[in-house]
Amino acid sequence: MQEPYKLIGCTILLFGALSLFFSIFYEHTVLALIGLGLTFWGALTLYITTEKYVKEILLDSTLLPTLANMDKILTELGYQGKAVYLPPKYLKDPETSKVYIPKNKNTRLPTPEEIQQKEDKTFLKNPEVALITPPGISLSKLLEQTLGTTFTKVKLENLQKNLSKLFIEDLEIAENLEIQTKPTEAAQKVADTIHVKITNSIYKDLCKEARRLTHICGSIGCPICSAIACAIAKASGKPVTIEKTESTEDGKVIDAFYRIIEE
Amino acid sequence: MNFPLSFWDISLWLAVTAIILLITSELISPYYGKTNILINKKRLKNVSLTMGILFLITVAIRIYGIITST
């Protein structure tokens, strides 16, 4: 696919170099200008290569069955608790992320030491909880890789700036991303509720489809909401839940509300 | 057997090229909506900024020349 571009680039570059050579030989100004232009645009064609793109529809086809399966398993096993995104201190490997889903709604969140002891298992007993890898972990790691640092080193206040740049400019995941933090009355708390508004994301169709999956939409979250939850949990160092997600009928605007749990 | 363009010709060429590239880079920026141009936008932005900086360097040389000649 990229070969014709390389061939065109090389040809332009060659003609440019020849033109420059003859301009020096004959001391011809027009030839020199043509040569400069051709050499520059030839080099530019070689440097600015095309990127490999895949169709948006492939995202939905590959991701939806996995999410539907996860939802079905959790529904059949009777898990009713709210999914909690655990911060790095709860895990042996601080670079990874896990979601803690209790079977009963009123199960309290255990201490980091308790979770670290049983971290390798997916379904834990006493209390009955599921400790699963979030669907947005890979996206979250890609965001960190593109950012050049981990979210654990990013302050919560700076997360909006970093995520907006990553989502809009670097990875072109969405057209716009806004993060609003709602401060609480207690002075020691940085933020309690975080509202993320995502406009025209590449996952809009997936989000629309995932709305009927009760454990996914509004609990674990679709890959994009899940990746943001992983980022917030790492940046704040506190457990995070997805309170609710709302989207417009066409799925273009997604509003996700996150809550940081004070331990 | 001399290169027929002067330093100022190159400066002007750099200015024109930088303007074209900077405008193109800004027009296809993801901040103004998704475009269907499948090129590496980051690299285009880097090239346009480099050209702009190179032009500014030629301007700085010109200013330095004016200051030192007086």
Inform me whether the pLDDT recorded for A245 exceeds 50.
Answer: yes
Q: How far is CA A9 from CA A38, A42, A47, B1, B45, in A?
A: 9, 4, 9, 28, 19
Confidence check: pLDDT of A187 > 50: no
Confidence of residue A33 (pLDDT cuts 50, 70, 90): very high
Confidence class for position B35, pLDDT limits 50, 70, 90: low
Query: What is the per-residue pLDDT for A182?
Result: 75
Residue of chain B nearest A172, judged by CA positions: B30
pLDDT (mean) for A153-161 = 87
Given a cut of 80, whether residue B60 has pLDDT beyond it is yes
Q: At B58, is the pLDDT very low, low, confident or very high (cuts 50, 70, 90)?
A: very high
- CB contacts, 8 Å: A36 with chain B: 5, 10, 13
Contact A169 B44 (CB under 8 A): no
A47 touches chain B (CB under 8 A): yes
Option in B13, B31, B39 nearest A50 (CB): B39
Indicate the residue of A27, A51, A169 with minimum beta-carbon distance to B31.
A169
- Give the pLDDT score at B33: 63
Q: Are A42 and A13 in contact (CB under 8 A)?
A: yes
Average pLDDT over residues A212-238: 88
Looking up tokens 């020096």 gives: A24
Q: Which residues of A touch B26 (CB under 8 A)?
A: none
CB A152 within 8 A of CB A238: no
Question: Taking CB atoms and an 8 Å limit, are A32 and B44 in contact across chains?
Answer: no
A175–B5 C-beta distance less than 8 A: no
Average pLDDT, chain B: 89
* pLDDT average, residue stretch B29-52: 83
- Partnered with residue A124 across adjacent β-strands are A129
A32 contacts on B by Cβ (under 8 Å): 3-5
Beta carbons of A251 and A224 less than 8 angstroms apart: no
Euclidean distance between CA atoms A70 and A60, whole angstroms: 15
Share of chain A above pLDDT 90, in %: 31
Q: Which of B4, B44, B47 sits opposite A28 (nearest CB)?
A: B4
Chain A residues whose CB is inside 8 A of the B5 CB are 29, 32-33, 36
Hey, are the CB atoms on B40 and A51 less than 8 Å from each other? yes
Q: Is A33 on the interface with B (CB under 8 A)?
A: yes
Q: Which stretch, A8-22, A86-100, A183-197, has highest mean pLDDT?
A: A8-22
A109-115's contacts with Cβ under 8 Å and 24+ in sequence apart are A109/A84, A109/A239, A109/A261, A109/A263, A115/A86, A115/A90, A115/A91
Model confidence at A3: pLDDT above 90: no
Of all residues in chain B, the percent with pLDDT exceeding 90 is: 61
Residue A158 has pLDDT above 90, yes or no: no
3-state secondary structure of A55: coil
Among A27-36, A138-147, A212-221, the range scoring the smallest mean pLDDT is A212-221
| Whole-angstrom distance, CA of residue A229 vs CA of residue A176 | 17
Average pLDDT score over chain A: 86
For residue B8, which residues of chain A lie inside 8 Å, CB to CB? none
